[in-house]
């Protein structure tokens, strides 16, 4: 049985404890490895290694740091297939989907390669007689990331390339459900020339998380996960003096107007709802059908859901793999039953799907629920599975009010041929990321990712310009270089620019 260990100070480390947890293959239901579960001693060892490494890494030139990023980016390209299969085997998503998340994560590496322009400070000449002012940004120190199971490569890649390129050292605590990608990435960093101790991985559960949130040697924490845990992370880490990025859950709506091309809209909503088995924080989980669009939209969505091929993620032609755990499978299928009991129409029922040769896998098929209301659990809860709820409304304004009343504000989309409707929607909607005829509006790496309301706890979105600001702090320097014979009078009044 394979054992997945920590990565501390440039090498695999068994850790200080004996506790482990099984890692399953979701397609077969079989245990395929065990991951060590670290605690405060392992976090402390990683902090010590990262603190030592920070002394030299933070003083390295920007050119040295970006050279490592260029080499790391090339290794991600060369090992994309291998890393994709590692992710698929532990998460369950298709290999193509896993490769897609690597590509989107690699875009952040590419952004980090070009930080020279972004990190340029400003200079003001002669703000007072013989006085100049300039500013620049410096790294924080040791920073940490706590990441979810659904994107074991991409979400960490939203964090550590920017943190490292700006001169910080990093400790990653990945999900214990699919931990192997983190160690694989650590090995690629080492091959890219990253010094030992600059990037570390500590596996574990709540004990490791709490150790990160309270350790005095960690300056900042980045987190992506559910809203309740995001609130806990933000509260605990800020109370211990840390800067925090905490991205929470979502309930993403796709609004379809009667003027939308229904085949196009349904095709993209189907992919947005059922891709990666719905285990995405940007998944479309609610389709809001406006007026006359409803019946036609449901008809096309039904046909497309029935065409989805469910199977193991490494099998050619598979559209949707299994859920990550047996518990996730049971939770999603119970939610479909609850929706039916509360009055929703189960148009497509994904419960009880069996895949030949993989009867013990954690599979469930796509489910489509019609006539869902905002009082039903299927609307209120983040199901994090392949369930799409249809809510019917009479107008665009009613749809906007419905989305705005939802406690989450991560992503939303509008399908329409009307520029006026699109402009009204994007200006009035209280959501952080908006797609117009785009179902999953994840921004490019040079923009920042983050929602509103309960989808972002605190004030710090992730990657892009906000990522630069999060992992650095500014300094403003006021200088005077008087001539040796020049007398500069000092005064006891508050200094001015006169």
Instruction: Give CA–CA dist 479/124, Å, rounded.
Output: 11
Burial environment of residue 298 by CB neighbours within 10 A (0 to 12, 13 to 18, 19 or more): buried
Q: Is 468 exposed, middle or buried (0-12, 13-18, 19+ CB in 10 A)?
A: buried
Query: Is 281 a residue of the active site?
Result: yes
User: Which of 332, 316, 335 lies closest to 324 in space, CA to CA?
Assistant: 332
- The string over 72-85, giving b where at least 16 C-beta atoms fall within 10 Å of a residue's C-beta and e elsewhere, is bbebbeebbeebbe
CA distance 215 to 218: 6
Q: Could you report how far apart the first and last alpha carbons of the chain are, in Å?
A: 75
Active-site option among 146, 211, 281, 301: 281
Q: Which residues are catalytic?
A: 281
């Amino acid at each position: 049985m394979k054992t997945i260990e920590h990565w501390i100070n440039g090498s695999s480390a068994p850790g200080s404890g004996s506790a482990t947890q099984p890692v399953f293959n979701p397609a077969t239901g079989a245990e395929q490895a065990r991951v060590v579960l670290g605690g405060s001693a392992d976090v402390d060892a990683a902090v010590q290694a990262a603190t030592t490494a920070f002394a030299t890494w933070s003083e390295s030139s920007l050119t040295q740091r970006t050279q490592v990023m260029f080499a790391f980016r090339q290794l991600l390209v060369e090992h994309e297939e291998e890393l994709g299969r590692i992710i698929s085997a532990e998460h369950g998503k298709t290999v193509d989907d896993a490769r897609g998340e690597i590509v989107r994560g690699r875009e952040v590496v590419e952004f980090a390669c070009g930080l020279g322009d972004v990190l340029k400070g400003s200079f003001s000449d002669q703000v007072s007689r013989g006085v100049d002012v300039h500013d620049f940004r410096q790294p924080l120190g040791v920073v940490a990331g706590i990441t979810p199971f659904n994107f074991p490569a991409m979400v960490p890649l939203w964090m550590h390339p920017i943190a490292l390129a700006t001169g910080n050292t990093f400790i990653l605590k990945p999900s214990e459900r699919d931990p192997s990608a983190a160690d694989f990435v650590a090995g690629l960093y080492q091959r890219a020339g990253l010094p030992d101790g600059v990037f570390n991985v500590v596996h574990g559960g709540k004990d490791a998380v709490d150790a990160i949130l309270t350790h005095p040697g960690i300056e900042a924490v980045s987190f992506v996960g559910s809203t309740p845990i995001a609130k806990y992370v933000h509260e605990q880490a800020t109370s211990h003096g840390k800067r925090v990025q905490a991205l929470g859950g979502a309930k993403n709506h796709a609004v379809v107007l009667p003027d939308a091309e229904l085949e196009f809209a349904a095709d993209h909503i189907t992919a947005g709802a059922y891709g990666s088995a719905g285990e995405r924080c940007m998944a479309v989980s609610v389709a809001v059908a406006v007026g006359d669009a409803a019946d036609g939209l449901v008809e096309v969505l039904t046909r497309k859901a029935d065409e989805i091929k469910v199977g193991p993620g490494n099998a050619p032609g598979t559209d949707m793999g299994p859920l990550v755990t047996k518990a996730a499978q049971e939770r999603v299928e119970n939610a479909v039953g609850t929706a039916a009991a509360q009055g929703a129409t189960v148009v497509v029922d994904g419960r009880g799907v069996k895949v030949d040769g993989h009867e013990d896998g954690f599979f469930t098929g796509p489910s489509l629920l019609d006539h869902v209301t905002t009082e039903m659990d299927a609307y209120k809860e983040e199901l994090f599975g392949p369930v799409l709820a249809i809510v019917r409304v009479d107008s665009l304004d009613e749809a906007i009010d419905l989305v705005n009343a939802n406690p989450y504000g991560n992503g939303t989309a509008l399908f329409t041929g009307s520029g006026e409707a699109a402009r009204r929607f994007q200006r009035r909607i209280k959501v952080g990321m908006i797609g117009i005829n785009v179902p999953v509006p994840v921004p490019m790496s040079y923009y920042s990712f983050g929602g509103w309301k309960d989808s972002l706890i605190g004030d710090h979105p992730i990657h892009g310009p906000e990522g630069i600001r999060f992992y650095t702090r500014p300094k403003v320097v006021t200088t005077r270089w008087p001539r040796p014979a020049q007398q500069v009078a000092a005064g006891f009044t508050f200094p001015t620019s006169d």
